[in-house]
Structures are given as C-alpha cells and as structure tokens.
Structure 1
Amino acid sequence: MATDTTSTPAISHSTVVQATRTRRVFAFLSSFLFLVTLVFLILVEIGCVSSKHPVLPSIYFIKLDLTNIIPRSVPNFRLVNSIARTLGLHDFYQVGLWNYCDGYGNEVTFCSEPQRMYWFNPVEILLSELLAGATIALPSNITDALTLVRKASHWMFALFLTAVCLALPTALLAPLSIYSRWASLPLTILAFLTAFTTTVATVIATAMFLIFKSAIQSAAESVNIQAQIGIKMFVFMWIAAGAAILGWLIHFAQCCCCASARDVRTGRRKGRKKAYPPFGRGTEVDATGPEEKPRARRRWMGRNV
C-alpha cells in the first residue's frame, strides 16, 4: 500500500521575517500612529486644567476677552469698563475640556475645579463673579447658543475620554496583525472605534466653538466680547484624528493585503520575493530527499559537460 510521503516544506524563521517585512513595517507604523493619537488626546484632556503649569493654560478651545466689554459707542466706555473690572469681571476667560481659567492681562490667575461632563456657561460664570446685586445682560443669540454648547459639550467630553481609553490598547495590540490576517479583523474594528470617537469628538468641538465664536462676534454692538479660537487645541485635535484615521486605514488594508507570518508558513502567500534566495535554495527543507535543482539550471549544466 503506497503512502503519501509529501509534506509541507518547513520555512526558516529568517525567511518568514524577511517575507513579512512589508506587513511588519505597516503594523509598527499603525502602532506609532495610534501612539501619536494617544499623546495628542492626552494634551487635549489636560489642557487648561491648572494655572500653575507654564504650558497647560495656553491649551484651550476658546478664549473670551472682556477687557473692553462695553463698546466704544457708549459714552465714557473706558470708565465703565474699569468699573466692570472692579465689580469682579476678569479680563479673559478660556475654556478647556474639564474646566475654565481666567485672569488679567496675559496672565492666568485662576482655574476652576475639573468636572466630569463639563460645559462652559459664561452667563453663570460672569454673574457669579459680579458683586451682589450687579448684573450683566447678554444678547439673546449668545444665550440661545448655550443650549447647543451644553448638549454638544457632553458628547464631546464622553467621546474624547472614550478615544483615550481605546487608543492605548490599539497601539499596543497593533503588531499582532503581523502573525495572521485574521488577527487584523478585530484590530481593524478596534482601530475604527478609536478613529471614529476621535474624529467625531474633534468635529463636534470644532463646529461647536466656531458657532459659539460667531454668535459672540455678532453681538459686538451691544456687548464687546472678543472670542479667539485656541490654535494649539485645534491642531492637537486634528493631528490626533488624522493619525487615528491613517492607522485604521492601514489595519483595514492588512485584512487582505501583505502576507502574514501564517500565510508564509502555510504556503498561501509567498510575501516579499527578495526573502527567497535564487532558485529557492536554502529556504525550504524537504524531508523526502535531496533538493532537486531547477530545470533551467540543469539544462545549462548539461551543455557545459
């Protein structure tokens, strides 16, 4: 009774490493991209949380300048502005993810206590800082925009926090896609969730504060409040979102492209051709007998005998 002595050739570890080099490069690149996402998300999270740190107060979503809150059209506007400062108003207020900070001139003097699901309510803050019995009237378009700010801030806060929690395991697990294309599927889902939460939170924050800035500037005739978008915060958000999207695209492509270590060992895919020496010598060991020379080489040797 004849037995089948053929078997799958064993492939050396060095050959597998060389054959999967392209996949390794993209796997570690995606890991690096999600580390970049994590770093910039952390900067977004800790921005404006403390007045003692020299850098953190400069990371904010929006800054409201109340130095000249009374417009020039009002008689004796300079005197009234100085009185408003005496009553308790600060020169500026800037908003972070967890709290707000205020100060005089260019110096931050106070940051509120960080709060979960924080949203910036300038009406409440300004009224709380004025002396007892003093009040300030804000235009209706600003107060109407506060409803949008409150709802959007809650979603933004939850999505940014979720993105931070997802970015770390995604960065650590990304190299596992080297070993199998099947491993890329759950990693692709995890990478998609990271990219989705980061991007949606960034879009919400961008749209919300741009709308809020427009509402404030449109009321310059009645109350002179200048609004300034925090460039650092917006750059950090969009770098995090862009890196997360690129990392997800790499994982998505690895589901069907680039040979994995399992593909090379089982013979489903060869991977990089440069990983195999000419004529396949030295890469495969056949247990059934000595390695047969390639046909083209045998013919060349026969002509030279």
Structure 2
Amino acid sequence: MGKGGRIVCIFTPYVLTIASLICIIMVGLGCTKASSNTLNDLYFFRANMTNITADGSSTESTISSVVSELSGVSDGDLSSALEEIEKEYNIEDFYSIGLWGYCEGSLDNNKINTTNCSTPVAEFWFNPLSVWNLEESGLENALSSDVKKTLKTYHAVSKWMFIAYIIAFVATIVELVVGVFAICSRWGSCVTSLVSAVAFVFTAAASVTSTALFAVLKGVFKTELEKYGITGSMGKNIYVATWLAVAFALGACLFWVFSSCCCSGRSPYNHRNRTPRGGVMAEKTPYTYEALGPYGQHQPSNPAFQSTSYPPPPPTHGNQTTGRTNAYEPFRHV
C-alpha cells in the first residue's frame, strides 16, 4: 500500500482521538467561567434553592410539616435557621456542580443569571455544609443520617471520578503523540492501540462514575431535601459530551487495532531482486537448454557481451585429430 495508503489508514482513528479529547476538555471546562453561558450549561448537577425563603408561604408550610420529624429542633429554631441562611449568608437561587468547581447565581423568571464561579480545585467535591453555611446556622443536625451518608460517599467517589478524568485526558494526549509514529509502521499502531485502550477504559470509567454518582445524589435530594424546599436536577450537555468522548475513544481504539493488523506501510513491490542499474533481468523459460560455446564455455545471454572470437581450442594429445569440429553444439540443462 505504501506510505500514502498508510497515512489514509490512520486518518480515521486520529480524527476520532481528537474528537474524544475535545469532549473531555469540554467536561473539564464546565462551571469554570461565570461570563460564559456555554460553559455554565456544562454541569453535572444543579441544586435549586429558590423555594427556601422566610417570606414565602410554601416555606412556612414546609417548616411546620418537618418540625415533628426533627429531633431536638423546634419550630422557632428551624425557622430562625432558615432565615439566617437566607438573609445573613445570602444563599443563591441555584448551585451548579462541575468537575473543578461550582457556579452560583439567581433565577429570574426561569432565566439563569450566573454571578460567580468558585476557583478551580483538584479533586473537587461540593460540600453543602460549608457552601450553604449549614454548620454555622445549626441546620446540620436537621439532616438525616441518609443524607450525611450520601455526602460521605459522594466525597469519596468524586475523588476517583476526578482522577479517572485526568488519566483519560493525559492518555488521550499521549495517544495523539504516539499516533504520529504509527505512520511509519504497524508496530507504531500496535503501541498506539495499547495507549488508546487505556484512554478508552478511563474515559468510560469516569463517565459511568459521574452518571451513577449524580443519579444517586438526585434521588437523595428528592427523598430527603425536597421537604426543605431544596430540589436537584442533573445536567444534560455535560453528559452528552462525556458519553460522546467514550464513543469516540472506543471507535479510535478499534481503528488503531485495525491499522496495526492491516495497512502495511511497505511497498507491494519486492525491491530485493532488482537488477543492477541499466540492466534488465530476463527470466528463463523452464525445461529449456542453454547454448554453450564451441568448447563448452557458457555463452552470455546479453548480445552486447557476445563476441565473435572464441578462446583457443584445448591442446591435443596422442593420436587425436586436430581441427576436428563437433557435429552438434553442446547444450547444458538449465
């Protein structure tokens, strides 16, 4: 196929690898810039706090309905805690959770207005006790054991999720670098296939972890926190991006394996048996005889090297007759 065909063969997995890398970058850029509506729409989970307000009738009914379920907290204490969170600590209407941090803002007629995003932090996890100042307001004791247990699980799993995304990102970059050497030979494709397999495994693992983790968190919000006026929802765009990264990584891995088995970079013509420059190699016909000279010497097949003169005859001995000519020209089996 040659080098040109080799380049065409690895073009598809290389493009798929680039597409996977772009999707992973989009996941990492989610909730990192308050002024970008595109990046603000890339979130794993969003907590809606608009129903927590001391002035609303819905909150008053919510307080009275959950007071009987809270051990050690009276109606006045819980109401004061909610008012303290809302007024003194200025709880925002929503909090969007990304890979590196979170963004917060207000909702005006269902129109999202992001006002601030946290500083990106490695192994980030959203801690509502500190972000919403629940510890200082004394509302932490009102949370059920299931909510606290879920937060601990979320804290542990979010660290693994972050590490998986970072490994997938680094492996994908290494795949692009090593993929350049795949143009030279199928050995290069073999090494690139191994790297692409690592990138695919960690991209898939990170995507599965994030989807399952925040699905569980959404269920906990629905069963445990909706009675406080706090609701949660999963994002859409970031999950589309992360699962597209998985699909592109899988396709790239399969095509790299295909290029390591096929699409050789060698020329289909064998150059080892080429004749010297300027010469033409004539293939002899089988079951034929090669003519020899008058005294049994090999005759060159190229007319340019033929000569009209022959070497002197061998010496005669005894009664051999000089000047004898053979009746037939000798031949030799080829």
Q: Give the corresponding residue for 2:328.
A: none
For residues 116 and 203 of structure 1, the distance between their equivalents in structure 2, rounded to whole angstroms, comes to 20
User: Residues 85 and 73 from structure 1, CA distance in 2 versus in 1: closer, same or farther, beyond 3 angstroms?
Assistant: closer
Q: Give the corresponding residue for 1:194.
A: 199
Highest CA radius of gyration, 1 or 2? 2
Gaps of 5+ in 2: 64-78, 286-334
Q: Give the corresponding residue for 2:26.
A: 43
Structure 2 counterpart of 1:40, one-letter code? C
Is 1:96 aligned with 2:98? yes
Q: Helix, strand or coil for the counterpart of 1:38?
A: helix
Aligned-pair identity (%): 26
State the superposition RMSD in angstroms: 3.1
Structure 1 counterpart of 2:263, one-letter code? A
Kept after mapping to 2: 8 A contact 1:24/1:175: no
Q: Give the corresponding residue for 1:206.
A: 211
Is 1:123 aligned with 2:123? no
- 1:239 is displaced (CA, Å) by 0.8
For residues 123 and 3 of structure 2, the distance between their equivalents in structure 1, rounded to whole angstroms, comes to 47
Match of 2:117 among 83, 101, 111: 111
User: Residues 103 and 172 from structure 1, CA distance in 2 versus in 1: closer, same or farther, beyond 3 angstroms?
Assistant: same
- 1:177 is displaced (CA, Å) by 2.5
How many residues are aligned here?
A: 257
For residues 134 and 90 of structure 1, the distance between their equivalents in structure 2, rounded to whole angstroms, comes to 19
Match of 2:220 among 194, 205, 215: 215
Q: Give the corresponding residue for 1:86.
A: 87
Kept after mapping to 2: 8 A contact 1:64/1:227: yes
- 1:241 is displaced (CA, Å) by 1.2
User: Residues 144 and 26 from structure 1, CA distance in 2 versus in 1: closer, same or farther, beyond 3 angstroms?
Assistant: farther
User: Residues 16 and 285 from structure 1, CA distance in 2 versus in 1: closer, same or farther, beyond 3 angstroms?
Assistant: farther
Kept after mapping to 1: 8 A contact 2:62/2:228: no
Q: Helix, strand or coil for the counterpart of 1:109?
A: strand
TM-score by length of 1: 0.74
User: Residues 138 and 92 from structure 1, CA distance in 2 versus in 1: closer, same or farther, beyond 3 angstroms?
Assistant: farther
Kindly provide the CA deviation profile for residues 256-302 of structure 1, in whole angstroms up to 9, marking residues without a partner as x. Answer: 2x23113x4585xxxxxxxxxxxxxxx99941754779x9xxxxxxx
Q: Give the corresponding residue for 1:287.
A: 275
Q: Give the corresponding residue for 1:59.
A: 42
Kept after mapping to 1: 8 A contact 2:31/2:43: yes
Kept after mapping to 2: 8 A contact 1:92/1:103: yes
For residues 224 and 181 of structure 2, the distance between their equivalents in structure 1, rounded to whole angstroms, comes to 55
Structure 1 counterpart of 2:95, one-letter code? Y
Kindly provide the CA deviation profile for residues 171-193 of structure 1, in whole angstroms up to 9, marking residues without a partner as x. Answer: 24324324322222211111111
Match of 2:265 among 249, 252, 261: 261
Q: Helix, strand or coil for the counterpart of 2:212?
A: helix
Structure 1 counterpart of 2:230, one-letter code? I
Kept after mapping to 1: 8 A contact 2:207/2:243: yes
For residues 46 and 9 of structure 2, the distance between their equivalents in structure 1, rounded to whole angstroms, comes to 40
Higher relative CO (Cα under 8 Å, sequence separation at least 6) belongs to 1
TM-score by length of 2: 0.68
For residues 252 and 63 of structure 1, the distance between their equivalents in structure 2, rounded to whole angstroms, comes to 40
- 1:134 is displaced (CA, Å) by 5.3
Match of 2:147 among 142, 146, 168: 142
For residues 91 and 253 of structure 2, the distance between their equivalents in structure 1, rounded to whole angstroms, comes to 46
Kindly provide the CA deviation profile for residues 47-74 of structure 1, in whole angstroms up to 9, marking residues without a partner as x. Answer: 1012133322221110000111479776
For residues 57 and 208 of structure 1, the distance between their equivalents in structure 2, rounded to whole angstroms, comes to 20
For residues 50 and 145 of structure 2, the distance between their equivalents in structure 1, rounded to whole angstroms, comes to 21
Is 1:156 aligned with 2:161? yes
Higher helix share: 1
Q: Give the corresponding residue for 2:229.
A: 224
Gaps of 5+ in 1: 1-14, 268-282, 296-305
Q: Give the corresponding residue for 1:169.
A: 174
For residues 120 and 82 of structure 1, the distance between their equivalents in structure 2, rounded to whole angstroms, comes to 20
